[in-house]
Each structure stands twice: as C-alpha cells, then as structure tokens.
Structure 1
Amino acid sequence: MKSQITLITALFLSIFILSAQNKQQEVLIIGTMHTVPKIVKNSYKPMLRFAKNYKPEAIFVEAPMAKDSISWEYLKNGWSKGYQNFYKKSSSLQNSFNFNESKFNRIINKHFKDMNDEDLKYLIKSFIYKRDNGNFELYSYLKKHGIKGAKKATRHEDGDLTYKLALFMNHKRVINIDDQQTNKEYHNAWDKCRKEGTKNGNNLANSKLYKKNYNGAIFPAIFRGLGKHTNKRKSLQQLHDMASFSYVVKKTKGCNDGKKYFDERNMRITKNIAQHIVNSKKHRNVVIIGAAHVIGLEKEFKENYPSLKVILMNEY
C-alpha cells in the first residue's frame, strides 16, 4: 500500500513539474497616458487594481537601461532635464562613491517594510552609481512616500501605477527596457515632417486623427475609464499611427525617416524585454509603457518572438 501511495505521489509531482516547465511565458502590455490632467487625476487607480490582480513576476518600465551607453550619450544632453541631472550625478558618484556589493545585496534582500532611512539612502546612491534610473526612482519614491506609496495622486504612471505595483508585489527591482539611441534623429524627422506637411495634407490628416482620439477619450475620462479607453485596440492604433507617421496621405523624406526611427526603437525595446524574459524563465511579465508603443511592440513580439504569449490589457 505504501509503495502504491509513493508511486501515485511521484506521478502527480512529475506531472505538476512538467506542466510548469511547459507553461508558456506571458507578456502583458499596459499602455499608459504618462502624465494625466488634474481633472482626471485618479485615472490610474483602476489600472493599478488590474495590475495587482495579474500578480506579475516581473515589471518592465520605460526607463533607459543602465548599460545602454548609446542612449546615455544622447540623454546626457538630451530632451529630459531629469535624465541630464541623473547622468551628472551618476558620473560624479562613479568617481567618488565607495560601492560595496555585499552591503547592497544585504540591504536589498530585506523586505521593504524593514528598510530604514539609511538603507534607502544607500540603495538610492547605489542605483545612481549603477546608472539605473528606474530603480533610483523607485527607491526615491519609497523613501518619500513609504511602503504604501503616495496618498494623493501623482498623476503619473510611475507614482500611481508602476511603483505602487512594485511595492505591493514586494519586487525589489523594476526592469529598465527603454531605448533612446535615435531619439534625436526621430525628433528631427518629426520637425521635418511637420514642415513638409503644411501644404500636402499631412498636417491636416494628423490634426483630424488627434481630435478624433482626444474627443473619444472625454466621456470615458469623466468616469475614471481613461486607462481602459486608452488600451482599446482602436485607441492604441490611433496613437501608434500618430507616433509612427502612419497617418500621412503623402510620403515625404521627414515622415519616412520618422517612421523608420520609431519602428526601430520599438524593435529594440521588444528585444530588450524578450531577452530578459527568456533568460529569467518567469511566466507572468508586465510591461508598463506609453500607449503609442503598444501596437508596435505587439507586432515585434508576434513576428520575432512567437514563443512568448502577448496579451494587451483590455484583452486579458
């Protein structure tokens, strides 16, 4: 009898292990609005509830990767004052901070609630030293607001969604996946496309698409449904079309270049995500990124990483 019970137990255990090994890895993509107006300051609350219920094993964020020297070469003097200041602090600390790997690991392995102010200060300095902007922001947020996060809406995806989710899940790190290697060229192409579009109908087509997208969001936004509306496939496609210059009625050099740089950025971001997921073996992964990127990322995943199951927020 004992041998039979042992055999049955071993059989069930082997089936369970095999099932876990064969489980397909998922990528859940949540498109964000970045910063929302004060009148709809609570728009991220329903999105946070959704993300918590998903219970991700890893959280990917739209922040530059620490070792992406090409992006940082641009960002150190680029469009964002925040990234400029962060780069300066990082360069300074790399010459002066006495980073200790053992101390860092000891602190970061604590539960968030057990980290004191000195612990948080050390982690913040360490992430600046490592040029890890996403986690520098996470621990700065934790130090300022505590383990429950900001009481009042910050009106931004990081403060109202990403970092509250990370704290709730006790994720000690978020994963940076952005790529801004050709952002300067993209913005130059954008300006050129806009100048070219004054007489050929392109600017008019863009304006009509923008108004359509904006007007469609008004009613959902009133009832805290802006996040869900933004993640409708129709809305995502409109945002993608505007960002990728797919709206143009006449192709021009500037618009073609802009589309090329946008598509290439999405391709590299997808590669950053996919490589990490495949290496990590984690099954439930959430990507929190500007909504204009979602359609492009979905396309890249399906074409180049078919082993990963791609899910959009509204289709989960």
Structure 2
Amino acid sequence: MKTKIIFITTLLASFFVLSAQNKQQEIVIIGTMHTVPKIVKKSYKPMLKFAKKYKPEAIYVESPMANDTISWEYLKKGWSKGYQKFYKLSDSLQNNFNYNDSKFNITISKDFSKMNNVDLDYLIKCFIYKRDHGNYEFYSYIKKYGVHGAKKPTRHEDGDLIYKLALYMNHKTVINIDDQQTNKEYHDAWGKCSKEGVSNGNNTANSKLYKKNYNSAILPAIFRGLGKHTNKRKSLQQLHDMASFSYVVKDTEGCRQGRKYFDERNMRIAKNISSQVIKSKKNRNAIIIGAAHVIGLEKEFKENYPNFKVVLMNDY
C-alpha cells in the first residue's frame, strides 16, 4: 500500500512539473498614451488596476536596450534631450566609475523599503554606467517619490503605470526593449510624405483620421476611460494607420519609406521582446508600449513567434 502511495505521489508530481514546463508563455500588450493632458491626469489609474490584477512576472518597457549600440549612436545626438543627457552621463561614468558587480547585486537584492539614499544613488550610477536607461529612470523615480510612488499623477506611463506596477510586484528591474536604429530615417520620411501629400489627398485623409480618433476619445477621457478606449482594437488600428502611413489614398516614395521603417522597427522590437521572454522562461509578460505599436507587434508575434500566446489588454 505504501509503495502504491509513493508511486501515485511521484506520478502526480511529475505531471504537475511537466504541465508547468509545457505551459505556453503569454504576452499581454498594453498600449499607452505616453503623456496625457492635465484635464485627464488620472487616465492611467484604471490601467494600473488592470496590470496589478494581471500580476506580470516581467515588465517590458519602451526604452532603448543598453547593448543596442546602433540606436545609441543615433540617440546621443538624436531627437530626445533626455537621451542625449543620459548618454553623456553614461559615457563619463564608463570612464570614471568603479563598477563592482558583487556590490551591485548585494545592493539591488535589498527590499525596496530597506534601501536608503546611498543605496539608491549607487544603483542609479550603476544603471547609468550600464547604459540602462529604463532602470536609471526607475530608481530615480524611487529616490524622488519613495517606495509607494508618486501621490499625485505624473501624467505619464512611467510614473503612473510602469514604476508603480514594478514596485507593487516587487520587481527590481524593468526590461528595455525599444529600438530606435532608424528613427532619423523614419522622421525624414514622415516629412517627405507630408510634403508629397499636400495636393494628392493624403494630408486630408490623415487629418480626417486624426480628428476621428481624437473626437472618439473625448467622452471616454472625461469618464476616466481613456486607457481602455485607447486599447480598443479600432483605436489601435487608427493609431497604427497614422504612424505607418497606411491611411494614404495615393502611395508615394516618402510614405512607402516611412511605412518600411515603422514596420521594421516593430519587427526589431518584437525580436527584442521574444529573445528575452524565451530566455527568462516566465509565463506572464506585460509589454507596456506606445499604443501606435500594438497592432504591428501583434502581427509580428503571430507571424514569427507563434509559440507565444499574445493578448491585447482589452481582450484579456
């Protein structure tokens, strides 16, 4: 009898282990509005509630990867003053800072509540040294607002959604997945497409789509439903069409180039995410990214990474 009990117990244990190993890795994509106006400053609150309920094992954010030298080569003199400043700091610290991996691991392993300003300053310097912008911003946020986050809305996805979620889940780091290798070319193509669209109806079509998207968001925004509205498939498709120049009535060279660069950026972001999700072996993964990228990423995952279960926020 004892032998039978041991056999059944072992069999059940093996079954549960095998079941866990074979569980499909899941990706939930949350589309953000980046910075929201003061009048709708609490728009991220319902999104945070959803994300907390989902309880992701990993949080992926729209920030350049530390080892993406091509993106940083552009960003060090690119569109963002913040990235320019960060790159200069990182360049300086890589020459002057005495980074110690053991000390970093000991410090970051502390409970958030046990970290003092000395610890936070050290971690911030480490992330600058590593050229890890996402976590440099995360720990700068903790130092400024404390372990419970900002009391008042920051009106941005980082402060109102990402960092509060990471603190709630006790995640010591967020994961960078952005790619800005061809951002200059994309913006050049945008300008070219706009010039070409003056007389062929493209700019008129874009203006109509923008107004349609904007007007449909007014009522949801008033009733704190902007996040949910933004993540409706119809809204996501409109944002995708505007960003990828899919709205055009007459395709032109500039619009085709812009679409190419936008699609390729989504392709590389999906690749960045996929490689890290596979490596992590975690099953519940939240991708928090600008809403215009959601449809493109969903397409990339379904076509090239079919082993993932990909769900959009409003479909979960």
What TM bracket, shorter-length normalisation? Answer: over 0.9
Partner of 2:28, secondary structure, is strand
Aligned to 1:200: 200
Q: Which amino acid aligns with 2:212?
A: K
Shift of residue 106, structure 1, vs aligned partner: 0.2
Counterpart of 2:293? 293
Task: Tell me the residue number matched to 1:140.
Answer: 140
TM-score (structure 1 length as normaliser): 0.99
Q: Which amino acid in the other structure matches residue 130 of structure 1?
A: K
SS in 2 for 1:90: helix
Distance in 1 (CA, whole Å) between partners of 2:200 and 2:110 is 60
Mapped to 2, the partners of 1:236 and 1:272 lie a distance apart of 21
Q: Which residue of 1 aligns with 2:75?
A: 75
- Structure 2: distance between partners of 1:60 and 1:260: 24
Could you give the per-residue CA deviations for residues 285-306 of structure 1, whole angstroms, max 9, x where no partner exists? Answer: 0000000000000000000000
The reply to whether residue 236 of structure 1 matches residue 236 of structure 2 is yes
Asked if 1:64 is matched to 2:61, the reply is no
Q: Please list the CA deviations of residues 196-217 of structure 1 after superposition, one character each: whole Å capped at 9, or x if unmatched.
A: 1000000000000000000000
Question: Within 5 A, what are the aligned runs for 1:24-173?
Answer: 24-173=24-173
Q: CA deviation at 1:2?
A: 2.3
Q: Which ranges of 4 or more aligned residues in structure 1 deviate by more than 6 Å?
A: none
Separation in 1, partners of 2:281, 2:103? 27
> SS in structure 1 opposite 2:29?
strand
User: What is the CA-CA distance between 1:279 and the residue it aligns to?
Assistant: 1.1
Counterpart-to-counterpart distance in 1, 2:259 and 2:15: 48
The alignment partner of 1:292 has SS state of helix
Taking the aligned partners of 2:43 and 2:157, their CA distance within structure 1 comes to: 10
How many residue pairs match? The answer is 316
Unaligned runs of 5+ in 1: none
**How many percent of aligned residue pairs carry the same amino acid?**
77
Gaps of 5+ in 2: none
Q: 1:11: Cα distance to partner?
A: 1.6
Give the structure 1 partner of residue 302 of structure 2: 302
Distance 2:150 2:239 in 1: 29
The secondary structure found in structure 2 opposite 1:43 is: coil
> Aligned-pair RMSD on alpha carbons?
0.6
Query: 1:9 offset after TM fit, Å?
Result: 1.4
Corresponding letter in the other structure for 2:256: N
**Which secondary structure does the structure 2 equivalent of 1:63 belong to?**
strand
Q: Give the Cα separation in 1 of the matches to 2:55 and 2:4.
A: 37
Q: Distance in 2 between matches of 1:50 and 1:203?
A: 37
Structure 1 distance, partners of 2:269, 2:137, is: 20
Matched, 1:264 2:250: no
Amino acid at match of 2:160: D
Rounded to whole Å, the distance in 2 between the matches of 1:37 and 1:10 is: 58
2:298 and 2:142 mapped to 1: Cα distance? 32
Separation in 1, partners of 2:126, 2:24 = 35
How far apart in 1 are the matches of 2:19 and 2:225? 37
| 1:315 aligned residue | 315
